[in-house]
Each structure stands twice: as C-alpha cells, then as structure tokens.
C-alpha cells in the first residue's frame, strides 16, 4: 500500500492535483510546449505564456479536450513533469491516485485515465476513478450521502455538466459542449465582425473575465489590442460590455435549457429538495457577473455560486481521501489483463 495518495482533476484548461493531508498542491494550466516535435521545453503556466507566441518549431498544446484525454503521449509527459515538480525529486516514490472523470463518457475514455497513470514513468499503487459531479458536490461542501437530493451545475472550459445527486450517486446527468472556451470564441467572432479586429484566445479570455455579464445591465469597457482585418496592421480598440453580452448570451441560454431538461426529468421528491436548497454553480465560468440573477430569473430557484468554484472538484477529491465514510465513492480500476 502506497504511503501517499494524490487526487487529480484533469481539466481541459487547468490541471489540479491535491495530496492527502496537504490539500491542493498544484493548480496550473494544462498546457505543454514541445520543440522540434520531441523535446519538452515548458509545462503548465510557463507553457501557457508561450501560447499564441511560439515560432513554428515549438508546438504549444492542450492534451485534454472536452474533459477527456485527446493526446495521451503529451498528457503522460505533462503529468510526469507535474509530479516531479510536486515531489521535488527526480523520481517520485510510489503513490495511490484518485482521478475525477466526466459522467457522460465512454468506458474506453474512462479507462484512458487509468492507463495514462499506469503506463507513465511515475510509480503507482491503487488507481481509483470517481465521477466528477460527485467530487464537485463534495468540494462545494454538500452532503450527498443522504437521501436529500442536490443539483450541481459545473461550467467548465469545454463542457457544462448538469447533475442531480442523492445517496452517494448520480440520479441524472447531462453533459453539453458549452463552456468558457465557447464564450471566448464567441467574443473573438463578434470583435472581428463589429470592430474588424482579430484578437487572440488570451485576449478574448481576458475580455470575458473583465466584461462578461449574464445581464445587459453592466456598463463598462476595456481596451484590447489585435490585428486590423483590413490592413493587417496592429491596432487597439475599446470593447464594450454590451458587445460581450451579445456574444455570450446565446450560450448562457443553452446552459439554461440543459438545466430545464434535467429539472423536468427530476423525480418529484428530489424536486422538493432542490426547491429548498437551490442550484449549486461551480466551474471557472461560475464567476460571470450576474449569472446567479439570470439563472434565478429563468428557473425561479435559489442560486448558490460556490466559493472557489474552479477548485471544487479537486477539493472534493481531497474529502474522499481524508474522510473514510466517503472512500467507497471511488471505484478501483484494474489492469485489462485482470478483468477478463
């Protein structure tokens, strides 16, 4: 039995690793920079600084897409880099791992998380899998082991997962391909159309953080820099919060539609619990200004924006490691040759 246990949230945008007894020990961008196809030159936040700025021989990439591993080789290399960084050793000792995975994925995609750790050059003991909505709810401070139902909406980078939980399991769940990155793309598109200006992903994300509002009431603006569509020269312009609202409102209502679908399918007894406790919102985009007001207006339910919403999954993994009554929520996976 390994003496150390780590919980990993392989987010599309960021990776968070917590260690039993220490809490979150790493929270960095899930990005890797590779030069000349095979030489790793940077990882995490350092690699993100190179994003959209690197020359042709340096590829800066996200190994995770829509919550699942899209590039196993790069993710394996990135995980090794992070584990070396956490341990401070050239070769980290053996450890147990708990990994959070989305609910609405295939068994092959789920097993890829196990295979990633088992096949890497870090020593691993037991590898357990827990469904992300369960860890998310625990990290939000909710008690999901009772018969009282709770509703959690996790607005991530590429996806939003709407879940109903009760008695330590998932009653209903719906995963939709809408998240923070879709909002960034929408902002880039509207800036190009209305201002004849090309802006990068980083700039769009920064505009979202400063101006995104779920209601048209916010009056603010920010200067952005980009490339003029007509003459190709660098230029600056001022973007208004009204423009950003026009760009993202459609996607916010897509999330609302997913919430309504789940609410319509929720058993009546659980519905009464949700009326009492409300909906819990997590994920990086939970911080959008006025989101709680919009969701309350459209659902007539109490809306709870969780504290540290981007870290709730990792915090939930920490609870599973620390509290013995929650250990059963994580399933042990075995090597393929032992499952036949």
Q: What is the pLDDT of residues 6-16, one digit of tens each?
A: 999 999 999 99
Residue 222 structure tokens: 């920010």
Distance CA 204, CA 224 (A): 9
Q: Which CATH architecture has domain 141-305?
A: 2-Layer Sandwich (3.30)
pLDDT digits (tens, 9 = 90+) for 116-129: 999 888 888 899 99
pLDDT over threshold 90, residue 277: yes
Position 293 pLDDT exceeds 70: yes
Which DSSP state fits 333?
A: P
pTM: 0.93
DSSP 56: T
Q: d(Cα 185, Cα 278) in Å, to the nearest integer?
A: 30
| Residue boundaries of the structural domains of the chain | 4-132+313-339, 141-305
Tell which CATH classification among 3.30.1600.10, 1.10.3720.10, 3.40.50.170, 3.30.420.40 matches the domain 4-132+313-339.
Answer: 3.30.420.40
Average pLDDT over residues 101-121: 90
DSSP letter at 335?
Answer: -
* 141-305 shares the fold of 4-132+313-339: yes
Tokens encoding 173: 């769940």
Alpha helices in the chain (DSSP H): 45-50, 72-87, 107-119, 132-139, 180-195, 201-211, 241-265, 268-277, 291-299, 312-322, 336-339
User: Mean pLDDT of all residues in the chain?
Assistant: 93
Alpha carbon separation from 174 to 104, 142, 203, 323, 334 (Å, rounded):
7, 20, 30, 28, 27
pLDDT value of residue 89:
65
Q: Which region, left, alpha or beta, applies to residue 110 given φ > 0 means left and ψ of -120 to 50 means alpha?
A: alpha
For residue 247, report the phi and psi dihedrals to the nearest 5 degrees. -75, -40
Is the model's pLDDT at 90 over the cut of 80?
no
The pLDDT value given to residue 122:
85
* In the predicted structure, residue 340 carries a pLDDT above the cut 70: no
């Amino acid at each position: 039995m390994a003496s150390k246990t780590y919980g990993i949230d392989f987010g599309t945008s960021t990776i968070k690793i917590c260690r039993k007894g220490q809490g979150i020990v790493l929270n960095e961008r899930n990005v890797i920079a590779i030069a000349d196809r095979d030489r790793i030159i940077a990882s995490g936040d350092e690699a993100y600084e190179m994003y959209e700025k690197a020359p042709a021989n340096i590829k800066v990439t996200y190994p995770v897409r829509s919550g699942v591993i899209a590039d196993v080789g790069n993710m394996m290399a990135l995980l090794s880099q992070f584990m070396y960084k956490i341990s401070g050793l050239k070769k980290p000792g053996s450890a147990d791992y708990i990994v959070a995975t989305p609910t609405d994925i295939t068994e092959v995609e789920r097993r890829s998380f196990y295979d990633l750790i088992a096949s890497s050059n870090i020593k691993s003991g037991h590898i357990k899998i827990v469904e992300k909505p369960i860890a998310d709810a625990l990290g939000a401070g909710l008690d999901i082991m009772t018969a009282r139902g709770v509703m959690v909406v996790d607005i991530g980078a590429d996806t939003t997962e709407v879940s109903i939980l009760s008695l330590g399991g998932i009653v209903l769940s719906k995963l939709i391909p809408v998240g923070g990155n879709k909002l960034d793309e929408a902002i880039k598109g509207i800036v190009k159309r209305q201002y004849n200006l090309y802006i990068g992903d980083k700039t769009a994300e920064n505009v979202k953080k400063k101006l995104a509002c779920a209601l048209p009431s916010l009056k603010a603006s920010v200067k952005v820099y980009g490339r003029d569509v007509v003459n190709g020269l660098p230029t600056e312009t001022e973007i208004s919060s009204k423009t950003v609202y026009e760009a993202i409102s459609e996607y916010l209502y897509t999330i609302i539609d997913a919430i309504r679908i789940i609410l319509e399918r929720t058993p009546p007894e659980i519905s009464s619990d949700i009326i009492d406790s409300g909906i819990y919102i997590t994920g990086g985009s939970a911080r959008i200004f006025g989101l709680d007001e919009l969701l309350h207006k459209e659902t007539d339910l109490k809306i709870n924006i969780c504290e540290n919403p981007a870290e709730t999954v990792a915090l939930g993994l920490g609870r599973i490691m620390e509290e013995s009554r929650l250990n059963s929520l994580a399933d042990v996976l075995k090597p393929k040759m032992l499952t036949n």
